Homo-oligomer: A and B are copies of this chain.
Amino acid sequence: MFKINENYLKLPGSYLFSTIGKKVNAFSEANPDKDVIRLGIGDVTLPLAPAVIEAMHKAVDEMASRDTFMGYAPDLGYEFLRNAIVENDYAPRNCNVSADEIFVSDGAKSDSGNIVDIFGDGNTIAVTDPVYPVYVDTNAMSGRTGTFNKETGMWSDVIYMPCVKENDFIPEFPSKIPDIIYLCFPNNPTGTTLPKDKLQEWVDYANKNGSVIIYDAAYEAYISTPDVVHSIYECEGARTCAIEIRSFSKNAGFTGTRLGFTVVPKELKCGDVMLHSLWARRHGTKFNGAPYIIQRAGEAVYSAEGKKQTMEQVAYYMNNAKVIREGLIDAGYEVFGGVDAPYIWLKTPDNMTSWEFFDYLLEEKNIVGTPGSGFGPSGEGYFRLTAFGSYENTVKAIARIKG
């Protein structure tokens, strides 16, 4: 009889967004006259930039003619895209990343989940808490997280690094040295960042201890503060300890278009073995490239027009973030994030739990957000609002909260 991967059975249900959905539906049914504003999800709402649309139409036409038709893509992705990434994301910041260290993929979620494949079973992982659930869940699926404690919401073998207002949302070095450290900055869900010197300390720590950092930079386009790095490769020594994951979802609105990439520097080794070789093997065996049309769309994000247009989209969302942030501060809330990230993380008032505040906001203000406790135990007592709605709805929501 075949055997299943029993680790899947240890996973707690992923009830966060389904519970939210059920509560919102129940409320809307009971109150059909109420105009509910959703600032809970992390999905974008602006359409793709004209330069991206134009590039896709052109690429679609290429697929229509025998002379320009494109079949299987090169394993790492098309050079035109990998070169554009180097020239725009890395070279201007003096990051030593070459085109053959970039692996184009169908998105950061796939990469941040699949990266577990190239690591052995005996690794201990560390995550910031609260955290994007994919890092923990994918390690749990691989049997590296021990047992889940429903009371605490924690896995026995995961090192949680609380990021709360008391430590300015800066993770501290854990007492036990982790093998794999997941860092996401600007952070989802807290919207906070690490100053460059703090990230440098993490790079030094990883190099000293033989840890690898998986650095999720999906929100780097939202950075406006000068001393916040866009890439971990801005830190000295990162090439020997860090993998960086990037997305086109939030900087260019590709949530439904699907494109991302992962950088694995050739100096990153375990003994003599380059992680680059392992990821290349994984990529070549279990993946067959992002669509040609979408890779052309990605290239267009880096064109002069594409950069201008996508920066305007980011500015639009960050203006929403400012509206939310300043409105909440005016209303007396304690607020974090929202400066270098499209997420605003607020402390719930009057010692309400995250879910109590969710119910209050839905029932009294008809606004949907995300309870912080859904992202991990240290998210309890916090709440996430996102800047991805329309400006009009964002302004309306804040007026309600203040009113």
Residues 210-262 (chain A) with a chain B CB within 8 angstroms: 210-212, 253, 255-258
Q: Are B60 and A47 in contact (CB under 8 A)?
A: no
Per assembly, the copies of the chain total 2
Instruction: Please tell me if the beta carbons of A56 and B293 are within 8 angstroms of each other in the complex.
Output: yes
Contacts of A275 in B (CB 8 A): 4
Interchain CA distance A54-B331 in the complex, whole Å: 51
Name A110's closest neighbour in chain B (CB-CB).
Answer: B287
- CA of A70 to CA of B107 in the docked complex: distance in angstroms? 16
Q: A281 at the A/B interface (Cβ < 8 Å)?
A: yes
Q: Decide: B256 and A63 in contact? CB cutoff 8 A.
A: yes
Q: Which B residues lie within 8 Å of A50 (CB)?
A: 64
11 contacts between A and B (CB under 8 A): A1-B209, A3-B123, A8-B278, A9-B273, A50-B64, A63-B257, A69-B253, A110-B288, A138-B285, A258-B290, A293-B293
- Mask, A194-210, CB within 8 Å of B = 1, is 00000000000000011
Bound Cα distance from A258 to B275, whole angstroms: 26
Chain B residue at minimal CB-CB distance from A66: B47
Taking a contact as CB atoms under 8 Å apart, the answer to whether B2 and A179 are in contact is yes
Given A256-B71, A275-B4: A53 and B60 interface contact (C-beta under 8 Å) = yes
Given A47-B65, A61-B53, answer yes or no on A4-B72 (Cβ-Cβ < 8 Å): no
A8 CB contact (under 8 Å) in B6, B48, B106, B281: B281
Query: What residues on B are CB-neighbors of A122 within 8 Å?
Result: 3
Residues of B within 8 Å of A72, CB to CB, are: 43, 255-256
**1/0 contact trace for A127-143 toward B, CB 8 Å?**
00000001001100100
Q: Is the CB of B3 within 8 A of A120?
A: yes
- Whether, in the assembled complex, A165 has its beta carbon less than 8 Å from a beta carbon of chain B, the answer is no
B117 touches A141 (CB 8 A): yes
The reply on A361 being an interface residue by CB < 8 A is no
Measured between alpha carbons, how far is A169 from B159 in the docked complex, in Å?
Answer: 53
Cα separation A109 to B284 with both chains bound (whole Å): 10
Q: Would A71 and B43 count as touching, CB distance under 8 A?
A: yes
A270 CB–B CB distance under 8 Å? yes
Within 8 A of B (CB), among A112-129: 113-114, 117-123
Q: Are B64 and A48 in contact (CB under 8 A)?
A: yes
Q: How far is the CA of A360 from the CA of B351 in the complex (A)?
A: 80
Find A285's partner among B3, B5, B69, B113 (CB 8 Å cutoff): B113
> For the complex, is A154 an interface residue (Cβ under 8 Å from B)?
no
Cβ of A286 < 8 Å from any Cβ of B?
yes
Contacts of A282 in B (CB 8 A): 8, 141
In the complex, whether A401 has a CB less than 8 A from a CB of chain B is no
Collect the chain B residues with CB atoms within 8 Å of residue A189's CB.
Answer: none
Asked if B53 contacts A64 (CB within 8 A), the reply is: yes
Contact A63 B53 (CB under 8 A): yes
Provide the residues of chain B in CB contact with A114, threshold 8 Å.
286
Q: Contact: B255 with A71, CB < 8 Å?
A: yes
Hey, which chain B residues are within 8 Å of A4, CB to CB? 118-120, 270, 273, 275, 278
Q: Please, which residue of chain B has its CB at the minimum distance from the CB of A108?
A: B288
Complex interface: chain B residues within 8 A of A287 (CB): 106, 109-110, 113
CA distance A69 to B114 in the complex (A): 28
A85 CB-CB contact with B under 8 Å: no
Report, nearest first, the 8 A-B pairs whose CB atoms are least far apart. Answer: A1-B210, A113-B286, A3-B120, A43-B71, A2-B179, A70-B256, A71-B255, A47-B69
Q: Is A289 an interface residue (CB 8 A)?
A: yes
Which residues of chain A from 273 to 302 have a CB within 8 Å of any chain B CB? Answer: 273, 275, 278, 281-282, 284-294
With A1-B270, A5-B117, A45-B71 given, name 17 new contacts (CB 8 A): A4-B275, A8-B278, A43-B71, A43-B72, A45-B66, A50-B64, A53-B63, A53-B64, A56-B63, A69-B253, A70-B256, A71-B255, A106-B106, A106-B290, A114-B286, A141-B285, A257-B291
